[in-house]
Amino acid sequence: MSTATVNGEQTKPKKNVVSKNYRSGVIDGLVEVLADSYLLHVKTQNYYWNIKGELANNVTQLFENQQQDIAQAIDQIAKRIKGLGFSVPATFIEFKDYTSIKETTDSPNGLTMVKNLARDNETLVKTICKALEPAHESDDSRTINLLAERMKKHADHVIDLRNQL
């Protein structure tokens, strides 16, 4: 943890306050998680709207539940970015520069949809792991808690999706 000098004396930052030295790293990580979450939300919603065939009856509710969960998470992540004093990116152009999720422009079959979403949730877990590093370095417990909860949710999404295969 970094120290600051106040009136000539060394002080440590208060717990739960992100130090300025690490704030940009925390924000960069949160923006990447936000971008991946947003693209995954759009993809999940697309699949929810367009699923057909054998798996449709089995996964329609699963897709709906996951896209709703991700939509709520997007708001939580955006509020955290704003709470740290930064503007929240909110356009596809901005997200495109930060996301690791590959957009789908075709209409794959149900099995491919399930596999794609499982892979993309795994990708998001990796993005979250990467974002946790600067949050831990800055002792930012609010961001750590948010990201840890998201990591658990996406790991659960992977399990639920893989159970459909």
Token couple for 113: 């949809």
> What pLDDT is stored for residue 105 in this prediction?
85
CB 146 within 8 A of CB 81: no
Q: Is the dihedral of CA 61, 73, 149, 120 positive or negative?
A: positive
Q: Which fold has domain 18-162?
A: Ferritin (1.20.1260)
C-alpha to C-alpha distance for 112 and 129, rounded to whole angstroms: 26
Q: Taking the complete model, does pTM exceed 0.95, yes or no? A: no
pLDDT, tens digit only, all 165 positions of the chain: 343 333 444 434 334 344 455 577 999 999 999 999 999 999 999 999 999 988 999 999 999 999 999 999 999 999 999 999 999 999 999 999 999 999 988 889 999 999 999 999 999 999 999 999 999 999 999 999 999 999 999 999 999 999 999
